[in-house]
Amino acid sequence: MSTMYEKVSALAVRETSKSIQEKIVKDAEIELIVNKTLTRKFSISPDSLKEFAMGYLLGEGLIRSLENVEEISIEENTVKVQVDMEDFDIVQELVVGSDCFGGWRQKIEFIDKVESEFTVDKKKLLKSFIKLKDNAFTWQKTGGAHVAALIYKDKFLSREDVSRHVAVDKVIGAGLLEKVDFKNSYIAYSGRMPADMLIKIARVGMPLIASNAAPTTSGYAVAKEAGITMVGFVRGERFNIYTHPHRVVID
């Protein structure tokens, strides 16, 4: 893992002022090129790029499993992937056609309901957030990164990124590479939950997402429709369950 921060000089203004060295979170322009034609730029933490690419492609529906990936090469800030999917052109049209700042209404129509018998115990859910914070190394140093974890049986895969979406992409990619059964896993993470985040979760078939932050109305609508349990404001011993609460075992 490359270093996720840089040191810079800053003036710390308190009661008195002094020059300090501060660690600030690194972000870089990463270019993802799929099948030589589909090109997207991202401002993200330049780390775990293979996991990022795999998770992003799965979450966008540009691959359905690792078997669709013929080749991946990473050179500095460029990730090139060759995928083999019969309907790539149709899916690409859908991904490129909708701007990255939106286009979720169109996407919701293509989402299947998540079918899963998965449940998680209240205490285990709360513990995963303690572990999440303990693993937020870059956030601890810089205060400027999101952290996400994919939790599956005894696995706890965590990644950080300046982008909350990409933190989740990275753990989904890590889970894909480790052949995690997404239908029996969940995401614990540090960001808000709008539609495009929930669509990602729905597309990989994950039954639950939990965050220390808030939902938005679009995310709530997708969670409800797609059958995903959405947990928000996990803080200390408390949280709220917004949709499909049966998956959290409280007693």
The yes or no reply on residue 137 touching a copy of itself (CB under 8 A) is no
Touching a copy of itself, residues 31-70 (CB under 8 A): 31, 40-43
Q: Is 71 in the site for a copy of itself (CB under 8 A)?
A: no
Q: Check binding of 249 to a copy of itself (CB under 8 A).
A: no
* Smaller CB separation from a copy of itself, 6 or 76: 6
Question: What is d(CA 128, CA 106) in angstroms, rounded to the nearest whole number?
Answer: 33
Residue 238 as a binder of a copy of itself (CB under 8 A): the answer is yes
225 touching a copy of itself, by CB under 8 A: no
| Shortest distance (Å) from residue 155 CB to a copy of itself | 25
Per residue, the 3-state secondary structure of 146-208, as one string, reads EEEEEEECCEEEEEEECCHHHHHHHHHHHHHHCCCCHHHCEEEECCCECHHHHHHHHHCCCCE
Burial of 64 (0-12, 13-18, 19+ CB in 10 A): middle
Catalytic pick among 12, 90, 100, 249: 100
Q: Strand pairing of 186-189 and 146-152?
A: antiparallel
CB 155 within 8 A of CB 178: yes
- Closer Cβ to a copy of itself, 29 or 89, answer by number: 29
Among the listed ranges 47-55, 79-87, 140-148, 200-208, the one in contact with a copy of itself (CB under 8 A) is 140-148
Q: Which residue has the tokens 């449940």?
A: 119
Span of 67-75, 79-87, 149-157, 208-216 interacting with a copy of itself by CB under 8 A: 208-216
Residue 71 and residue 40: Cα distance in Å, rounded? 18
Q: Give the one residue of 21, 71, 154, 217 binding a copy of itself; rule: CB under 8 A.
A: 217
Cα–Cα distance for residue pair 39/177, rounded to 1 Å: 23
Q: How far apart are CA 62 and CA 39, in angstroms?
A: 13
Residue 148 a catalytic site member: no
**For binding to a copy of itself (CB under 8 A), which residues are involved?**
5-6, 8, 10-15, 17, 20, 22, 24-31, 40-43, 98-105, 122, 142-144, 162-163, 192, 194-196, 213-218, 220, 233, 237-242, 245, 248, 250
Residues annotated as catalytic are 100
